[in-house]
Amino acid sequence: MSAPDFQFETAAHARGLSRVAGIDEVGRGPLCGPVTAAAVILDPARIPPGLRDSKKLSPARREALADLILQTATVAIAHASVEEIDQLNILHASLLAMQRAAATLLAHHHLIDGNKIPLALQGRAECIVQGDARCLSIAAASIVAKVTRDRLMVDLAQQHPGYGWDRNAGYPTPEHLAALQKLGVTPAHRRSFAPVYKML
């Protein structure tokens, strides 16, 4: 697939919508930690080169790009907690995190990765399936969200050693699943996720 471009933003600008935010979330699959969303309004004159879907970048490149995005763009980051994930389910918690990120930016229009629009953004947003690979603002949001959440999981790994969260970001790797069996469930684990609730 070709690199993401600025066509979705340009089309919104042509309709008179000058502040256009790309929104993406990360952390649906892990067994622990929050789900994290970022909303990014890129400055068309200062778009960092090399923006891609965060999954296609090395950790070092992601870190460097996240710093560049924070320097050149308008950025908001938000989370939905483990408690909210267990209460609402992961889809609704993801939408809540996106909604929270958008709330502080006051964009005129929102480009959202995936196929669902948070309720509060209805009428002011469009979905873009595989948006992180197609749309520069969403690619930027995916990078910021991923780097933010990875750093958060490194911090959580120090509070709960043995699960390898600094390496696996809370995903159900063999190391993490083995540690769950051996060390048990922590307060950072999502109790509604099958590998966790089966142990409770």
Tens digit of pLDDT for each residue in 27-57? 999 999 999 999 999 999 999 999 999 999 9
Mean pLDDT of 59-75: 98
Comparing 39 with 1, the larger pLDDT belongs to 39
| Domain-located, residue 196 | no
How confident is the model at residue 33, as a pLDDT? Answer: 98
Is pLDDT above 70 for 75?
yes
| Domain-located, residue 22 | yes
Q: Domain range spanning residue 75?
A: 7-152
> Domains in the chain: how many in total?
1
CATH number for position 32: 3.30.420.10
| Domain-located, residue 142 | yes
| Domain-located, residue 27 | yes
How confident is the model at residue 1, as a pLDDT? Answer: 57
Mean of all residue pLDDT scores within the chain:
97
Question: If pLDDT is split at 50, 70 and 90, which confidence band does 142 have?
Answer: very high
Short-list 54, 18, 82, CA closest to 140: 54
| Domain-located, residue 101 | yes
For 38: left if phi > 0, alpha if psi spans -120 to 50, otherwise beta; the answer is beta
pTM for the full model?
0.97
| Domain-located, residue 34 | yes
| Domain-located, residue 161 | no
How confident is the model at residue 39, as a pLDDT? Answer: 98
For residue 171, CA distances in Å to 31, 166, 184, 199, 200 come to 6, 11, 16, 17, 19
Is pLDDT above 60 for 137?
yes
| Domain-located, residue 117 | yes
Structure confidence by residue, pLDDT tens digits, 154-195 = 999 999 999 999 999 999 999 999 999 999 999 999 999 999
